[in-house]
């Protein structure tokens, strides 16, 4: 029964004339800058342990995406800098639910005392979905910050488990999710994103930020649980959820036990914040549980709709709207 899903998918692929492609490792256990030659509808199968995987130019179609999935428990990571990179690709689904015995069937982590720089990186990729990955002992869990090209559109990330991030070489500077280039402070520059979903993540024991999105138009951050974040208590590196020059939705998230803001809203355009629960956030001195500041230098003015949220305990303010950007404030439950 363990491989029932795998067998069914294999039979379906055969019936459709698609192929199942297995990856061959180099002597060091890696797959490096490899174009597997997948056609729309093909399945790329991960099996066993890899020191790292770098795939590129995977091109499916909207109707027939290329599937990348696990058979059994698959591990990626070793003494290198990263676990999994999928570069320059489009219309694919990365799925770690290929074996019912493992809820997160693709596991990315460092097997040495040194932290991986990145867990899952999607450099220049778009129009894809990824789910059911576990990532830990990395400096950044999920990562993409292009400075050229784009806009990179329609990215769905859901059901990840990211924990125990760290960065001892830089006093713990790290992120569970880091999407978008932050240096520009402009929403309409090369490398921006459109329509990015981050949902049903579990993020725990984070030395730095939880979910950070920058220069994204149409973000949807929902139903995530972020606990024990900002453990290194570094300035500008201790937020639960951070929007930088970003518009979109932050809904039904639970953020607890962190040194910095639970929600750090430095956005541009409309941001809907609804139905979130923040408890025991902003524990460091002079920190606010919800901090709002429309400081993006160009682009539309930040407007925040703040409804039906529960915010409990903070070092300073429960909600601090420094730029006077809240246009609707209704049904929120604030408790010191």
Among residues 63, 119, 118, the alpha carbon closest in space to that of 90 is found at 63
Task: Give pLDDT tens digits for 293-303.
Answer: 998 887 799 99
Instruction: Determine the Cα–Cα distance for residues 160 and 200; give it in Å rounded to an integer.
Output: 7
Last residue of a domain, one of 85, 101, 130: 130
Is 324 part of a structural domain of the chain? yes
Domains: count for the chain: 2
Q: Are residues 166 and 301 in the same domain?
A: yes
- Mean residue pLDDT of the chain comes to 92
- Residue 91, both tokens: 């219309």
Mean pLDDT of 295-312: 93
d(CA 212, CA 241): 6
pLDDT band with cut points at 50, 70 and 90 for residue 19: very high
Q: Is 305 exposed, middle or buried (0-12, 13-18, 19+ CB in 10 A)?
A: middle
Domain housing 292 = 145-336
pLDDT at 11: 42
| Domain contains 49 | yes
Residues 244 and 301 in one domain: yes
Residues 69 and 155 in one domain: no
Where b means 16+ CB within 10 Å and e means fewer, 100-114 reads: eebebbbbbbbeeee
Q: Which of 161, 16, 21 is nearest to 102 (CA)?
A: 161
Token look-up 């070092």 returns 315
Confidence of residue 87 (pLDDT cuts 50, 70, 90): very high
Does one domain contain both 165 and 308? yes
Cβ–Cβ under 8 Å, residues 215 and 248: no
Look at residue 281 in the predicted model and tell me its pLDDT. Answer: 98
- C-alpha span between 312 and 336 (Å, rounded): 6
Per-residue pLDDT at 79: 64
Is residue 157 located within the same domain as residue 125? no
Residue 226 has pLDDT above 50, yes or no: yes
Q: How many beta carbons lie within 10 A of that of residue 72, not counting itself?
A: 15
What is the domain-level CATH number for residue 150? 2.160.20
What are residue 19's phi and psi, to 5 degrees? -115, 155
Compute CA 44 distance to the chain's CA centroid, rounded to the nearest angstrom.
22
pLDDT tier, 181 (very low <50, low <70, confident <90, very high otherwise): confident
- pLDDT (tens digit, 9 = 90+) per residue, 235-281? 999 999 999 999 999 999 999 999 999 999 998 999 999 999 999 99
How many whole angstroms separate alpha carbon 281 and alpha carbon 226? 11
Q: Is residue 137 part of a domain?
A: no
Nearest Cα to 258, choosing from 244, 274, 278?
Answer: 278
């Amino acid at each position: 029964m363990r491989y029932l899903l795998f067998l069914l998918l294999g039979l379906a692929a055969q019936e459709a004339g698609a192929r199942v492609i297995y990856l061959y490792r180099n002597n060091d256990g890696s797959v490096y800058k490899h174009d597997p030659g997948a056609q729309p509808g093909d399945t790329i199968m991960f099996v066993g342990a890899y020191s790292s995987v770098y795939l590129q130019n995977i091109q499916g179609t909207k109707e027939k995406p290329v599937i990348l999935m696990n058979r059994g428990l698959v591990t990626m990571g070793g003494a290198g800098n990263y676990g999994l990179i999928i570069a320059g690709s489009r219309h694919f689904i990365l799925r770690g639910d290929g074996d019912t015995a493992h809820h997160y069937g693709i596991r990315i982590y460092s097997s040495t005392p040194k932290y991986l720089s990145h867990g899952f990186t999607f450099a220049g990729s778009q129009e894809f979905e990824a789910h059911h990955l576990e990532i830990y002992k990395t400096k950044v869990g999920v990562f993409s910050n292009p400075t050229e090209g784009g806009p990179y559109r329609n990215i769905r990330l859901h059901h990840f488990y990211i924990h125990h991030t760290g960065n001892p070489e830089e006093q713990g500077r790290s992120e569970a999710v880091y999407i978008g280039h932050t240096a520009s402070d402009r929403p309409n520059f090369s490398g921006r994103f459109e329509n990015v979903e981050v949902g049903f993540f579990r993020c725990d024991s984070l030395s730095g930020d939880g979910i950070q999105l920058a220069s994204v138009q149409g973000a949807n951050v929902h139903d995530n649980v972020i606990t024990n974040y900002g453990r290194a208590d570094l300035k500008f590196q201790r937020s639960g959820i951070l929007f930088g020059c970003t518009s979109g939705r932050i809904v039904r998230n639970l953020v607890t036990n962190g040194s910095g803001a639970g929600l750090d809203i430095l956005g541009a355009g409309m941001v809907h914040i609804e139905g979130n629960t923040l408890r025991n956030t902003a524990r460091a001195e002079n920190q606010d549980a919800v901090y709002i500041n429309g400081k993006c230098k160009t682009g539309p003015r930040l407007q925040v709709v703040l409804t039906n949220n529960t915010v409990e305990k903070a070092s300073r303010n429960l909600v601090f709207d420094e730029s006077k950007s809240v246009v609707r404030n209704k049904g929120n439950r604030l408790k010191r």
